[in-house]
Amino acid sequence: MKLPMPVAGLAFSCLLSATTPVLAASAGPVSPFLGKWELDVKTMPTTYGAPPKSVTYEFVDLRNGRWETRIHIVDDDGGVRDMSVSYRRDGQANSGSGYAGEGDTAAVNSPAPNVLVMSLARDKQLESVRTYAISADGLEMTESAADVDDNGVPFVRNFRFARARS
């Protein structure tokens, strides 16, 4: 069973205003991804299977062009899985840490300010491709997970996240 995996390192320590880009001193606009996101488990695709209790993604700006994505999953039985990856949004491979069921390596690119594309690999084999998009109001994030099933048939599932409030 596939679980929603972050777009290469979800980082949530820099919470943003949901609707207004914040300007850092001479650094330009702050990305709408930065901050914490909570999966709406009630809207998960029925083809996914039993949903976890909760999934939280956090996107953190580590400075110097690096981000970290942190994912925290609480399973229905109370088990916890944490994973993270730090990266530059340049499409190059970066090793992750923690739970590796969805991948041990991620490459992340940002073709637009509100879009991230993540390629996940495990044991040097493609595991899935994830695309993350932020809504115009900055309050919702959609993860589209592309993969193949056990019979080699491709599929895409969408997962909805809401910006976490502190």
Question: What average pLDDT does the structure give for the chain?
Answer: 85
| Alpha helices in the chain, H assignment, sequence order | none
According to DSSP, the residues that pair with 70 across neighbouring strands are 58, 84
**148 or 46, which is more confident:** 148
136 has a pLDDT exceeding 90: yes
48 secondary structure, DSSP code: G
The 10s digit of each residue's pLDDT in 152-162 is 999 999 999 99
Q: Set out the domains of the chain in order of their start, with CATH numbers.
A: 23-163 (2.40.128.20)
The 10s digit of each residue's pLDDT in 124-133 is 999 999 999 9
In whole angstroms, what is the distance from residue 112 CA to residue 131 CA? 11
Give residue 28's pLDDT: 63
The 10s digit of each residue's pLDDT in 20-76 is 333 334 456 789 999 999 999 999 988 888 899 999 999 999 999 999 999 999 999
Of the candidates 16, 47, 46, the one whose C-alpha atom is nearest the C-alpha of residue 32 is 16
Give residue 27's pLDDT: 56
